[in-house]
Amino acid sequence: MVRIIGILIGLFFSGWLLVSFGMGAKEYITNPPAETAEHEFHREAKDISFTSDGPLGKFDRQQLQRGFQVFKEVCSACHSLRHVAFRNLEEIGYNEDEVKAIAANWAIQTPDIDPATGEMSSRPPLPADKFPKPFANNVAAGAANNNAIPPDLSLITKAREGGAPYVYSLLTGYMDPPANLPDANQPGPGLHYNPYFANLNLAMAPPLAADDMVSYSDETKATIEQMAEDVSAFLIWTAEPKLEARHQTGWAVLAFLLIATILAYLSYRTIWADVKAEKKKKTADA
Amino acid sequence: MSFPWAKEYTPTTEFGQWMDKQLPLPRFVYNSVGAGYPAPRNLNYMWNFGSLAGLFLVVQIVTGIILAMHYAANSGIAFDSVEHIMRDVNSGWMIRYAHANGASFFFIAIYLHIGRGLFYGSYKAPREMLWLLGVVIYLLAMATAFMGYVLPWGQMSFWGAKVITGLFEAIPLVGKPIQELLLGGFAPDNAALNRFFSLHYLLPFVIVGVVIMHIWALHIPGSNNPTGVDVKGPQDTVPFHPYYTAKDGWTIGLALIFFTALMFFLPNALGHADNYIPANPLSTPAHIVPEWYFWPWYAILRAFTFDFLFIPAKLLGVLAMFSAILVWFFLPWLDKSPVRSGKFRPKFKIFFGILVIDVLILGYCGGAPAEEPFVMISQLAAAYYFAHFLIILPLLSSLEKPEPLPNSITESVTGKPLKTAS
């Protein structure tokens, strides 16, 4: 009885799936889906590597500081970094006094409550504060940016398919639209063509427009590519500040597990030796 | 119950004897996973995934309890509390990555465990109840994993919750009220997040309860084995301890090597980038996909693209998706072949191989965007999936001529006939 009902249900599901397949295939052949411009012109992220890549990866602190400088002087005008605190900068090589100075001189104030009056007020950030947001809220952010809200950058290299290479590609990927780009995909007013962006046009104007927008203190030449690479490396750190601890712990754990597993395997072989010997005899006899 | 030749627990110390009289817990352990439980001597490595699933269940419970100490189940701060764990809680990043990847490893273990049961006929008499309890564990694990993925309250959490609870909407008449009851509102929000957290904490302990019954049901007939032939004498078995404790022990080490390599060096490889974007009800992600372990079922759900008479395609998809798993409950009565092990079923072996490839194809299509040709491929693959369980297996038991079975486990291993005591 179970089998008869089962066969009937199976015939129904499988049969209807095959009918659906037939109807779908007919539609697919007679009316094939058009190739979209997003699909045709979109480019995969450029091939670029960072010192933090791979199981042995470590941050290049000099590079992170350069990247922080780019964030501070360029990105932070529009983008927040709300999961990172000024005190975290000590992890990329600034000392306590430098962090205090960076916080105190930050261009944006931290909102607070005046302890005397209880009124809303603001003050220069302290090392314990997270980076203050450039806009009071999303409405203000949208109003100032052609209705496109600049995303928070703390997690951006983990929150985008393609990670840091994608961020680097986007920053260096602005170009004139190709001649054969359909009209529907031409950048409208306030939009900029960038084939690394999913729908080809984005509201952010090229943020790194010219070489030497920042002047590095370590005498690295601030080309667009260099600045883009440095800020991408900095954003790997903001997204995954525990990356070095993770890699180091990983190797220690693997070394321990490897030894423990080898010992466990050897004791398994010893324990099973008598049972396996009987099995070997079989192969010898045959 | 066990075989008559099982070793008897004999406490040697005075304390041991006193304990045995008052609470025979050591005796219970001895008879369950100790020398007092004889297991077939020929179990291959496919029999190791049950203990590995148990290992990862423990990993999930331990890491989950610690995460719950720092996580805040409130839609306003849930996302930030996860980042707080990642940045400010001591070793919080390790606990969270272990938990996120531990779920994947639990499902890897459970899928291989189910696959082993399917191939070696472990669902057949006298182990139907064992199999049914296993399916219950799988369903509970799916519910737990789904609700756990909602807790970080990222974009995929929110939209996954919306799509999955939206499935209930397809049920005629009562669908909408059921969906609202599940969510505590009209869309996923704080009420949904809170109840998902509560249930996500509860269900693993329900799973532990069913796992205990699963092992209890296992110990009545004892383990199946690669030949599928019943245990006939003492020579067919070895005591669970030290033989299988040693074998399980070293594979636990091996599994942990794979697990830690992934969680320390590629912790986000199995996740989705969109879940690092905070939930935003006003912005729909381009492709909403569940975690990889749900992809085959997601492909079946999306394979139904045409209404059947008055039944809408969406309802068909929902019915098919649930049926795809519920069919396992009927498997012991669908496959009536008296031969358990697929090793001795020449035709079954081929169909089983096709099923494995078929489910992998379904998984690939479930993770791909809902576009052609993936929908057409999943339609064919889903058609085979249902045909395999509901048409091929029932017919195969009468059409197939199985190969001769070995007389005993011992004979299959050593080539010598089993010496019977009588």
**For A19-78, what is each residue's pLDDT tens digit?**
999 999 999 999 888 878 888 899 999 999 999 999 999 999 999 999 999 999 999 999
- Would you tell me which residues 206-225 of chain A have a C-beta closer than 8 angstroms to some C-beta of chain B? none
User: What percent of chain B is modeled with pLDDT above 90?
Assistant: 93
- pLDDT truncated to tens, each residue of chain B (422 aa)? 579 999 999 999 999 999 999 999 999 999 999 999 999 999 999 999 999 999 999 999 999 999 999 999 999 999 999 999 999 999 999 999 999 999 999 999 999 999 999 999 999 999 999 999 999 999 999 999 999 999 999 999 999 999 999 999 899 899 999 999 999 999 999 999 999 999 999 999 999 999 999 999 999 999 999 999 999 999 999 999 999 999 999 999 999 999 999 999 999 999 999 999 999 999 999 899 999 999 999 999 999 999 998 999 999 999 999 999 999 999 999 999 999 999 999 999 999 999 999 999 999 999 998 888 899 999 999 999 999 999 999 999 889 999 999 999 999 988 888 876 54
Q: Tell if the CB–CB gap between A268 and B247 is shorter than 8 Å.
A: yes
Six-digit token string for B123:
């669902």
- The SS3 assignment for A168 reads helix
Topology (CATH) of B289-402: Helix Hairpins (1.10.287)
Q: Give the residue-averaged pLDDT of A97-107.
A: 97
Residue A286: pLDDT over 60: no
Smallest CA–CA distance, residue B212 to chain A, in Å, is 26
d(CA A11, CA B391): 7
- The SS3 assignment for A121 reads strand
Catalytic residue among B176, B219, B314, B349: B219
pLDDT of residue A147: 86
d(CA A31, CA A49): 43
Domain boundaries, chain B: 35-230+238-283, 289-402
User: What percent of chain A is modeled with pLDDT above 90?
Assistant: 86
**Residue B138 near residue B53, CB atoms below 8 Å:** no
Number of inter-chain CB pairs under 8 A, A vs B: 173
d(CA B371, CA B342): 36
The residues that bridge with A118 in the sheet, in sequence order, are: none
**Residue B421 near residue B236, CB atoms below 8 Å:** no
Q: Tell if the CB–CB gap between A6 and B247 is shorter than 8 Å.
A: no
Catalytic residue among B75, B81, B223, B337: B223
pLDDT of residue B132: 98
- Preceding omega of B24 cis (within 30 degrees of 0): no
Query: CA angle, corner B309, sides to B308 and B310, nearest 5?
Result: 105
Report the amino acid identity of residue A262: I
d(CA A7, CA A13): 10
What tens digit of pLDDT does each residue of B175-215 get? 999 999 999 999 999 999 999 999 999 999 999 999 999 99
pLDDT of residue B66: 98
Point out the residue among A6, A18, A55 whose CB comes nearest to the CB of B330.
A6
> Which of B326, B389, B395, B314 shows the shortest CA–CA distance to B358?
B389
Non-local (6+) Cβ contacts of B353 within 8 A are none
B291 catalytic residue (yes or no): yes
Can you say how many angstroms the Cα of residue A18 is from the centroid of all Cα atoms in its chain?
41
pLDDT of residue A266: 98
pLDDT of residue B421: 54
pLDDT of residue A282: 63
Over its C-alpha atoms, chain A yields an Rg (Å, rounded) of: 29
What tens digit of pLDDT does each residue of A117-128 get? 999 999 999 999
Six-digit token string for A158:
């983990």
pLDDT of residue B2: 76
d(CA B285, CA B238): 55
Report the amino acid identity of residue B369: P
Q: For testing the chain B interface, which of A153, A240, A268, A270 should be mutated: the one with the most B CBs within 10 Å?
A: A268
Query: CB pairs under 8 A, 24+ apart, for B107-111?
Result: B107/B141, B107/B145, B107/B293, B109/B49, B109/B52, B109/B53, B109/B55, B109/B56, B109/B255, B110/B49, B110/B53, B110/B137, B110/B138, B110/B141, B111/B293
> Which of A123, A127, A141 shows the shortest CA–CA distance to A84?
A127
Average pLDDT of chain A to the nearest whole number: 94
CATH number (1.10.3720.10, 1.20.810.10, 3.40.50.720, 1.25.40.10) of B35-230+238-283 reads 1.20.810.10
Matching fold, domains B35-230+238-283 and B289-402: no
B398 catalytic residue (yes or no): no
Q: Tell if the CB–CB gap between A246 and B267 is shorter than 8 Å.
A: yes
Point out the residue among B41, B254, B391 whose CB comes nearest to the CB of A10.
B391
Q: Give the residue-averaged pLDDT of A150-173.
A: 97
pLDDT of residue A23: 93
Q: What size, in residues, is chain B?
A: 422
pLDDT tier for residue A276 given thresholds of 50, 70 and 90: confident
Element of type H or E holding A64: helix A61-73
Residue A261: pLDDT over 90: yes
The residues that bridge with A121 in the sheet, in sequence order, are: A112
What tens digit of pLDDT does each residue of B267-289 get? 999 999 999 999 999 999 989 99
Point out the residue among A16, A33, A254 whose CB comes nearest to the CB of B261.
A254
pLDDT of residue A40: 87
Burial of B111 per CB tally in 10 Å (0-12, 13-18, 19+): middle
What tens digit of pLDDT does each residue of B395-414 get? 998 899 999 999 999 999 88
- Would you tell me which residues 96-135 of chain A have a C-beta closer than 8 angstroms to some C-beta of chain B? none
Q: Tell if the CB–CB gap between A278 and B414 is shorter than 8 Å.
A: yes
Q: Which residue has the tokens 């049972």?
A: A275
Q: Tell if the CB–CB gap between B260 and A254 is shorter than 8 Å.
A: yes
Q: Tell if the CB–CB gap between B303 and A17 is shorter than 8 Å.
A: yes
- How many Cβ atoms are within 10 Å of A246's Cβ, its own excluded? 19
Smallest CA–CA distance, residue A220 to chain B, in Å, is 31
User: What percent of chain A is modeled with pLDDT above 70?
Assistant: 98
pLDDT tier for residue A10 given thresholds of 50, 70 and 90: very high
